[in-house]
Structure 1
């Protein structure tokens, strides 16, 4: 049973997923710092010193911290947008590479066509008496 679990855990997909989770967690911390330490102070400055994280109201004995919720929404939007930009950039690079490969294939095809024409002309010259 241990060997079976070990084989399962070491399959490529599981390891790739684990790496993705670790990198995603680190990226999330970077974006959270960006939001908390850079963007939100600027937003607060634009809104007259308003700090979302401290916003709350009391409802009976419960304290509803809606500012923290707003902060989480802003974090989500920035993380989502950042991931969108990264994926968009990667897709653009991939399309560019595919276009370059296709152009290279067309160039090879043109060379092959030219070589075939030369071959055919040489055959014709060899057959026809001068």
Structure 2
């Protein structure tokens, strides 16, 4: 059983998966920062700073100043605003990842496309020219 486990771990697929998970985790922080720090401020600028996280309904019928106050009071809260913001953030992140993957694929395909080289023209007479010259010389004798 230990040998099977060693063989399993030694396979390239497991190592590739581990590297993918580590790089994916690092990539997640980059995308999260891109969306939260660079894209969301522009969206807030165009929407007038609307923050949906304040939209909630306390299911016990009482009124609270904020979602945090309702949660701190232990009230059952239907936080529709948090859900809306999660959906909006998901759509933004998905679009950013789409753009990044599209850019990486474009770079990858341009790197894999072989550059066609023009055939070099011979610097002197071609082989055919030399053979014709020899033939003409032999005919002249």
Alignment TM class, shorter chain as reference: 0.5 to 0.7
Larger Rg: 2
- Normalized per residue, the structure richer in helix is 1
Whether the 8 Å CA contact 1:56–1:66 is kept in 2: the answer is yes
Q: Which residue of 2 aligns with 1:102?
A: 115
- Give the Cα separation in 1 of the matches to 2:54 and 2:41: 12
- Give the Cα separation in 2 of the matches to 1:98 and 1:37: 34
| Structure 1: runs of 5+ lacking an equivalent | none
Tell me if 1:119 matches 2:127. yes
Q: Which residue of 2 aligns with 1:77?
A: 91
**TM-score using structure 1 length:** 0.67
CA-based RMSD: 3.0
Offset from partner CA, 1:7-62 (integer Å, 9 cap, x none): 22232222222222222222223333444455445545654543233432234574
**TM-score using structure 2 length:** 0.63
